[in-house]
Structure 1
Amino acid sequence: MPEAKKLKFLFAINPISGGQDKSVWETGIQEFFEKQPHSADLFLLDGKTDQEKLPQRIASFQPDRLVAVGGDGTIKMVAEHALNANLPLGILPAGSANGMARELGIPPALADSLEVVVNGTAKPIDLICINGTEHCLHLSDIGMNAQLVKYFDEGNMRGKLGYARGVLRVLMRRRLLNLQIHLGDHVVRRSAFMVVLANARMYGTGAIINPDGDVADGKFEVVVIRKLSFLAILRMFIRFRPFDPSHIEIFPATSVQIVTKRKAYFQIDGEYRGKIREIAAEIWPGKLQVILPD
């Protein structure tokens, strides 16, 4: 019987994702690979030179798999490099909100997720290409949640307390958006608190925004939240309950253009992207290979 191929794994580690020290993760990865025939290289992200240095490390190490160690923002960034290098993406969920890992069924414990990275199967998932330059793996949105992401990033508190503080700021400043949503030849005009481009079902908090979402179905959903009472906001952002289906509309799409009357907050996969008045998005079916549980 021929010997199984020895694989090379490059781990791109965000050392501060989730506000926690990742030295335990580094040690755990090294100890795990001491018992493996495969080899592992660890690259610490610094948030400043990653766009230049990570491709250099990929070129010099020539891994068989590129692994993101962090939260949704880290996964998004590393996925871009996996896409450019034509490498399968592995995920170790080490952030404060691990929505994409949860969506894909990747276990949260380090040892279990390492088993998936090494012994799992590469499967294709869809990406949402936004404005021709960025890719969304999970969820992007305009309005209240993007505003919350901005406030959370600016705050000096992490965890549930920092999140709750951001929610209160959003509640005090929430405003309706006047929108035009172009779905092919069909134009929908709405007033809404949020619009979500959903390639998946739920936020990292566990709040379900798109019950029938599937990351590999060749489409995404445009979710319009038209009504949002104080109680509904608390249920979603604090207790992480599903949205009231009578307050939302869901439009399946393969492409969309959204225009707002005034500038609105915008985020992609948990990364705040500033204020926008217009975005265009289209589905890229099966574009990214991700290592998933068998």
Structure 2
Amino acid sequence: MHPLLHNDGVTMKPLRLVVAINPTASFGKSSSVGPAVVQTLRAMGHDVTSLQEPDFEQLMESGRKAVSTRPDAFIVVGGDGMVSLAANLLAGTKVPLGIVPSGTGNDMARGLGIPHENTEAAIRMLTDLLQGPPRTIDAGRVEYVDDETGRASTRWFAGCLSAGFDAVVNERANRMRRPTGPSRYTIAIGLELLRLKPIPYRLVLDGQPLETSAMLVSVGNNVSLGGGMKVTPDAKVDDGALDVLVVQPLSRIQFLRIFPRVFKGTHLSDPRVAVHRVRTIRIESMVAVVYADGERIGPAPVDITVVPGALRIFAPA
């Protein structure tokens, strides 16, 4: 390939890129984003392979084959579910990730400073960042027993893991067909508040056991989940640690008072809220279900470890 000229006159290196498009984005307002990304990158002279499959399982398989060819970047078009797919394909490899957010929550993009409400701006940022080195961030590795196969399994997450009320809300929201967008989470919160009760846990934080009941247990590598709920507002994606949020049992009225503060990230000042910064955590519970980056892992127990520098990603430093 020959060098290309960027629109500001800078000489660019043509790259071999893979673009994976969310299978659920075939219809609606996001349907044009994937093709626009592919068209833009090809117009710039890059060698682009577009991955479009009818479901996530087939997209994962196509993505695995594409990553094995060691492209210059693996770009996902979609929300946090697509980031989850990419994290599980790319963690521990040298293939960097690019994100063009067009999903419901877009929490990973929010935390990384990628425009999450303006796809044109996100595409422009990506094309600029592709000409420089990617940054390196941490990822969480989850070890668990698959509740369908009974086999020991491993999953990765880049953003947040949920194992309390937030996971219950995720479970409800993922079953809802309407509405689309962040309001789906808000409605799911209201519905689950009617059944609100604390969950008993045994947590092991860097080897130290903690028996507790809690309303909310979240493990953050990133800041937010659910479309902007800043559950772990002080988390950093590159500090080699995970922030574990534990909210003590609250009455429904108390919970209703504190929960809106989660959207602003001001809930940490409440004495019933604790954050533990750790490298490893085990979550045990008879009833808790676990989600990571909005995708269902399954019932507890799970063992979580932060892996520093596991992912390379095109995002602002």
Taking structure 1 as the reference length, the TM-score comes to 0.88
For residues 36 and 220 of structure 2, the distance between their equivalents in structure 1, rounded to whole angstroms, comes to 33
Q: Superposed, which structure 2 residues align to 1:148-159 within 5 Å?
A: 148-159=169-180
Residue 52 of structure 1 corresponds to 61
Can you list the C-alpha shifts for 1:222-246, whole angstroms capped at 9, x where unaligned? Answer: 1101144446447646993332532
C-alpha displacement at 1:144, in angstroms? 0.8
CA change 1:11–1:230 in 2 (3 A) is: farther
- Larger strand fraction of residues: 1
- Structure 2 partner of 1:74: 82
* 1:198 to 2:191 alignment: no
Q: What does residue range 28-39 of structure 1 map to in structure 2 within 5 Å?
A: 28-39=36-47
Cα distance between partner residues in 2 of 1:270 and 1:14:
14
How far apart, CA to CA, are the structure 1 residues paired with 2:52 and 2:242?
33
Gap regions ≥5 residues in structure 2: 4-11, 144-152
C-alpha deviation, 1:216, in angstroms = 0.1
Aligned: 1:263 with 2:284: no
Give the Cα–Cα distance (whole angstroms) in 1 for the partners of residues 61 and 178 of structure 2: 30
| SS of match in other structure, 1:48 | helix
Question: Would you say 1:252 and 2:282 are equivalent positions?
Answer: no
Compute the displacement of 1:34 (Å): 4.7
Counterpart contact for 2:88–2:157, Cα < 8 Å: no
The aligned counterpart of 2:311 is: 288
CA distance in 2, matches of 1:83, 1:186: 27
Instruction: Report the aligned-residue RMSD.
Output: 2.6
Q: Given that residues 19 and 158 in structure 1 are in contact (C-alpha distance below 8 angstroms), is that contact kept between their aligned partners in structure 2?
A: no
1:224 aligned partner: 246
1:7 matched residue in structure 2: 15
For residue 199 of structure 1, report the CA deviation from its aligned partner: 0.7
Q: Assess, with a 3 A threshold, how the Cα gap between structure 1 residues 58 and 255 changes in structure 2: closer, same or farther.
A: closer
Deviation, 1:18, is: 11
1:63-92 superposed Cα distances (whole Å, 9 cap, x missing partner): 210001111111111222223653100001
Deviations 1:145-197 (A, max 9, x none): 11111111112213355334322221112221122221234222211012111
The 2-side partners of 1:239 and 1:257 are apart by: 24
Name the residue aligned to 2:108: 100
Letter in 2 for 1:212: D
Structure 1 Cα separation of the partners of residues 206 and 169 of structure 2: 30
1:77-125 deviation digits (Å, cap 9, x = unpaired): 1222223653100001110100000000011322222233232140110
Gaps of 5+ in 1: none
Secondary structure in structure 2 of the residue aligned to 1:133: strand
8 Å Cα contact 2:134-2:314 kept in structure 1: yes
2:290 partner SS: strand
Determine whether 1:165 maps to 2:187.
Answer: yes
In structure 2, what is the equivalent of residue 128 of structure 1? 140
CA contact (8 A) 1:70 1:94 kept: yes
Count of aligned pairs between the two proteins = 290
